[in-house]
Amino acid sequence: MQNLRIRFAEKAYDIGRIAIQMVQKHYKTILLIAATAIVIATVVGTGCLTSSPEAGQPGNIPANPSQGPTSYPGVSGSAPPANSGHGDKVQVITSFRPFTLLVGPIGGDHITITQILPPGADPHDYEPTPNDAVALKSGRIFFYAGPFLEPWAADLAASSNPDIQRVTFADAIPGSAYDQMKSQYADFPDMTQDPHLWLSPQLTEYYVAYVARRLSETDPENASDYQNNAAVFEKRLKQLDSDYTAGFSNCTTRTFLSSHAFLDYIAAAYNLTPISIAGMSPDAQPSMKQMSAIVEEAKAHNVRGVLAEPDEAEDLSKSISAELNLPVYSFRTMEVLPAGPLTAEDTDYVAIMENNLQEMKKAMLCQ
C-alpha cells in the first residue's frame, strides 16, 4: 500500500511538472490537469480531501493575491476547504466582489462564500488558476457575471463540478422586464455586451429576488429566511433607486466623462449622457484621434467632471481632465476586492452605491 501511494505521488508530481512547463502557452488546456494533480497529491498525502489551513487553499485568504480563491470575511465567515463538511451550510462560490456583496446578505448565516478572485484581481483580465477549479469542486451554486466578462467561468465550473448550479446576473432579468427597459430607456445597453448590470439599482432588485429563489431551491429548509432577507434588501434597493432619481433632478449638466464604459445602465435609467474615455474594459484605450474627439464632445456638452474607478484608468482620466481642467471623482464599481481590513461600509452594496451617487452629483454639479 505504501508503494502504491508513492507511485501515485510520483505520478502527481510528474503531471504537475508538465503542467507548469505548458501553462504559459496553453493555460486553458492544462488547467484541469493541474487541478487534478493538486487533488491527487492531497489524497495521497492525507488519505482524504480534508486539507490543512495553509495559504493558497480555498477558504483561506492568501498573503499573495495571485494565489487563488479567497474567503470573504465580511459576509458569512470563512468558507471551508473542499468537501470539509463544514456544518450544514450551503457552499456558495462567487466569481468576484459584487456577487459576494449581493448574495451574502440574502444567504446570511445559512451559507459560506468562497470568492474566486483574490484581493487586487480585476475581472476584466483575470485568468483562472488550478486552485479555482478545486474551489468550484466544493460548491453547490456558483454566482458569476456571465460569458462576456468571464469567458472562462462556465466551462471551468462545468468541468470541475458538473453538479454545481451556475447562475449569471442576466438569468435573473425576465425577458419582459428587459424588453420594457429597452423600450422605456432609449440608450439602455445590450446585456450580452455590457456586463456591468450590478451597477443598476433597478436590475439589482430583480437579481436579489432571483438569488433568494435559487438559494431556496438549493436549501428548502431555510427558504423563508432567504425570502425574508431578500425582502429587506429589496426595500433598501427601492430607496436607493428613489435616491438616484431625486439626486439627479437638479443638475447643471446631465453629461459626464467616465474612465471607461461602466455607467451606461445608470445613465440610461436616469436620463444622463456618459462620454467614455476608454471602452468596456479599462484596457481598451482610445487612439489620439478618438481622444481629440472625446475632448471636443466634452466641451460641447458642458462636462464638469470625470468619474473614474479608484485604481483603473486613473492616468488616462487625469490626462484628459487636465486637458479640460476638470476634477476627477471616484466611483467604486466593486469589481476589485481591496487588500487589507474592510470596514462595514466596504461590505455594504447599498452604502457603496449611495457614496457613488454623491460622487456623480459632484461631477454634474447637482443640487
Domain of 312 in residue numbering reads as 241-363
CA distance 104 to 110: 10
Q: Do 34 and 9 fall into the same domain? A: yes
Res 367 pLDDT > 70: yes
Q: Do 43 and 75 fall into the same domain? A: no
Q: Do 168 and 227 fall into the same domain? A: yes
How much is the average pLDDT of 343-363?
96
Q: Do 261 and 337 fall into the same domain? A: yes
CA distance 274 to 298: 10
Res 20 pLDDT > 60: no
22 compared with 353, residue with greater pLDDT: 353
Q: Do 214 and 96 fall into the same domain? A: yes
How much is the average pLDDT of 130-143?
96
CA distance 365 to 335: 26
Q: What pLDDT is stored for residue 88 in this prediction?
A: 86
Picking from 240, 263, 286, the residue at the C-terminal end of a domain is: 240
Picking from 208, 240, 272, the residue at the C-terminal end of a domain is: 240
Q: What pLDDT is stored for residue 171 in this prediction?
A: 94
Q: Do 257 and 213 fall into the same domain? A: no
pLDDT tier at 31, thresholds 50, 70, 90: very low
Picking from 213, 240, 267, the residue at the C-terminal end of a domain is: 240
Q: What pLDDT is stored for residue 312 in this prediction?
A: 60
Domain of 290, CATH number, reads 3.40.50.1980
Q: Amino acid letter at 266?
A: I
pLDDT tier at 317, thresholds 50, 70, 90: low
Q: Are 31 and 16 in contact (CB under 8 A)?
A: no
Q: Do 70 and 24 fall into the same domain? A: no
Task: Dump pLDDT digits (tens) for 265-291.
Answer: 999 999 999 999 887 766 677 888 988
Instruction: Count how many domains the chain has.
Output: 3
Q: What pLDDT is stored for residue 25 in this prediction?
A: 40
pLDDT tier at 94, thresholds 50, 70, 90: very high
Task: Dump pLDDT digits (tens) for 197-218.
Answer: 999 999 999 999 999 999 999 9
Q: Do 265 and 340 fall into the same domain? A: yes
Radius of gyration for the chain, computed over Cα atoms and rounded to the nearest angstrom: 22
Q: Do 220 and 271 fall into the same domain? A: no
Q: Do 143 and 25 fall into the same domain? A: no
13 compared with 353, residue with greater pLDDT: 353
Q: Do 217 and 88 fall into the same domain? A: yes
Q: Do 135 and 254 fall into the same domain? A: no
